[in-house]
A and B are shown apart, each in its own frame.
Chain A
Amino acid sequence: MSASSNKHHLDDKAFRWITAAAASMVLIIVLGIFVELLRNSSLSMSTFGFDFLTSQKWNPAKGEFGAASSIYGTLVSTAIALIIAVPLSVVIALFLVELAPPRISAVVGQGIELLAAIPSIIYGMWGLFVLAPVLSKTVQPALGSALGGLPLFQGAPMGIGMLTAGIIIALMILPFITAVMRDVFRMVPGVVKESAYGMGATTWEVTRQVTIPYGVHGLAGAIFLGLGRAIGETMAVTFVIGNRHEISASLFAPGNSIASTLANEFTEAAEPLYRSALVELGLVLFGITFLMQIAAQLWLRRLKRKMAVAS
């Protein structure tokens, strides 16, 4: 008995070690990327200093670069995408798990997973050739006449621009978030839900009070999955965002994002300063993702504390 329990002990240690090594790969890779980004952007950092973050200038011919418009575009397009995609995902996942008959749920669920496989460039083409005309002919003029007082909705309805980019990204991250949320909802043990139903709760109440709190960690994970994709999305965005290094208040105006700038300009940039500036953009994006994660962790911790108090 003691011999086999010793072996178990060694086995368990080895197991823990192997899995820890696998997990550490993430650490090593992220560190490696960070170091490379830092190294290759040093030229740009020493040339522009802090102004890089605030300047809107982007003049490759004269060697002047600034990240402001790209940062703005990344944040705004991601925000629009999340505002559209997250509530929609929750609702679709709810629909699939609680409301729809099992056959429909299976087929629709399948269809949603499929969308995750469509190459991002196809979303871009679809956005440019199918969605943009619809937006410019119907949706944008409607928004313009109804809410045109707000600077958000002013300007010519070209069908491309910040709003279109946000919508395309939303459609791209929707499958990811929905698929994961659906699985989270499904994994809530039937026993827990049934005891709530047994007490006379309605479907919505069970969802709100039982399912969501049980799976909040998984739901947050789903949102991060989507956020990650949204922030780094390149191909689809470059087709529809208008590619202009300029900050404008209107959602109808063209802009750009860090990822789209990289995709557009990296392969052609031959001068060292140009390349370095582009890599620095990548570093900035890295930094933004980092900061967002920190903010999210803090928020999650507060949420957990609130829930611990409530239960």
Chain B
Amino acid sequence: MKRRSARARQLINGAVTGVSTVAALLGIGALGWIIYAVISRGAAAINWTFFTALPTPPGMPGGGLSNALLGTLYITGIAAVIGIPMGLLAGVYLAEFGQHSKLGAAVRFLSNVLMGVPSIIIGLFVYTIIVLPMGHFSGWAGGVSLAIIMLPVVARTSEDMLRLVPDSLRESALALGAPRWRTTLGVVFRAAKAGLITGIVLAVARVSGETAPLLFTALNSPYKVDSLNEPTANLTVTIFNYAMSPYEDWQTLAWGASLIIMAAVLLLTILSRLTLREKKTWS
């Protein structure tokens, strides 16, 4: 370290703190602006009809998004059930076994590549491998495409979080005679829990806003969701269609749907933090 007087170091610290705070407030302000826009424009759409009615064609008032809400829940659920466990296990491999292996290096590299593939290409890929052979669009294909998007995000963030857990923790557990899987899933996971959950929530948040992949897999539908084996209603494609229409009631519904997506992710985060707190009582 360079030799500096105590005074100079305090000044630098103060300057950096000041700049950080201002820049942080600026960045947060810009983000707050967007949240505000979504809330103010979307709140107008939220009422009982929104949650219970089926969509109506343009020009017909009284439409809601009940089917799209359910469809998104199903599709995101499928994606989560496929993508999260696979991503966590992949992250475990990368952090615990794959630090110096060829497979680990390749997977790490390709995860970053996969994260950069535009979601539309992933949608086209799933269209080719699932929709075309099946001969129709489906909610299943939609779930798979979202799972593919989630996979590298969960894998890389869990790897990074798991690696930050000090080895001393692992070694003490192993020294006590615990098998490797117990050590990882019990001890290491608990230590990295907050970060792992952030990774999962980020992945779910990211896919809940995705439109392009669903356009080629689940498409959309104005009817009730009673089968995932056909085009399935969902919020994002609906927003896509409504936002670009000239009908004001549809545009308002689009903002409303965005508000719901945002609120759902908020709920998810709060719930996950709550379960975190609960488990703390054991240790």
User: Is the CB of B151 closer than 8 A to any CB of chain A?
Assistant: yes
How many angstroms between the C-alpha atoms of A113 and B273 in the bound complex? 13
Of B60-68, B198-206, B224-232, the segment with at least 4 beta carbons within 8 Å of chain A is B198-206
- Cβ of A138: which chain B residues have Cβ within 8 Å of it? none
Do the beta carbons of A19 and B97 come within 8 Å of each other?
yes
Cβ-based interface call for B28 (8 A)? yes
CB-based contact B125/A23 at 8 Å: no
1/0 per residue, CB under 8 A from B, across A13-32: the answer is: 00110111111111101101
- A-chain residues with CB within 8 Å of residue B12 when the two chains form the complex: 202, 204
User: Is the CB of A299 closer than 8 A to any CB of chain B?
Assistant: no
Q: Main SS of the interface on chain B?
A: helix
Residues of B within 8 A of A22 (CB): 85-87, 89-90, 92-93
Q: Which of A27, A110, A205, A232 has the most CB of B within 10 A?
A: A232
CA separation between A30 and B97, bound complex, in Å? Answer: 21
Taken residue by residue from 97 to 110, chain B's Cβ proximity to chain A (1 for < 8 Å, 0 otherwise) reads as 11000011011011
Q: Is B153 located at the chain interface by the 8 A CB criterion? A: yes
Q: What 1/0 mask marks residues of chain B from 110 to 151 whose CB sits below 8 Å from any chain A CB?
A: 111111111111101100110000000000000000001001
B13 with A205: CB separation less than 8 A: yes
Contact indicator A110/B266 (Cβ below 8 Å): yes
In the complex with contacts A16-B180, A174-B31, A231-B116, A113-B201 CB distance below 8 A: yes
Give A168-179 as 1s and 0s: 1 = Cβ < 8 Å from B's Cβ atoms. Answer: 000100111011
Complex Cα–Cα for A180 and B199 (A) = 8
Q: Which residues of B contact A (CB under 8 A)?
A: 1, 6, 9-10, 12-13, 16-17, 19-21, 23-24, 26-28, 30-35, 37-38, 85-87, 89-90, 92-94, 96-98, 103-104, 106-107, 109-122, 124-125, 128-129, 148, 151-153, 155-157, 159-161, 163-164, 166, 179-181, 184, 192, 194-195, 198-199, 201-202, 205-206, 208-212, 215, 235-236, 239-240, 243, 254-255, 258, 261-262, 264-266, 269
A125-B254, A217-B163 known, 12 other contacts, Cβ within 8 Å? A11-B180, A26-B110, A30-B113, A92-B28, A94-B24, A99-B24, A115-B31, A115-B34, A116-B202, A118-B34, A122-B239, A179-B198
26 A–B contact pairs at CB < 8 A? A22-B90, A23-B94, A23-B103, A23-B107, A26-B90, A26-B110, A92-B23, A110-B266, A111-B31, A113-B265, A117-B264, A121-B240, A122-B243, A125-B254, A183-B195, A184-B195, A202-B9, A225-B156, A228-B112, A229-B115, A234-B118, A263-B212, A267-B215, A282-B120, A285-B118, A289-B116
Q: Nearest 10 CB-CB pairs, A to B?
A: A228-B115, A232-B118, A117-B265, A22-B89, A19-B93, A289-B116, A202-B13, A119-B209, A95-B24, A117-B205
A residues contacting B by CB (< 8 A) are 8, 11-12, 15-16, 18-27, 29-30, 32-33, 36-37, 87-89, 91-92, 94-96, 99, 108, 110-123, 125-126, 130, 171, 174-176, 178-180, 183-184, 186-187, 189, 200, 202-205, 209, 215, 217-218, 221, 224-225, 227-229, 231-235, 258-259, 262-263, 266-267, 279, 282, 285-286, 289-290, 292-294, 296-297
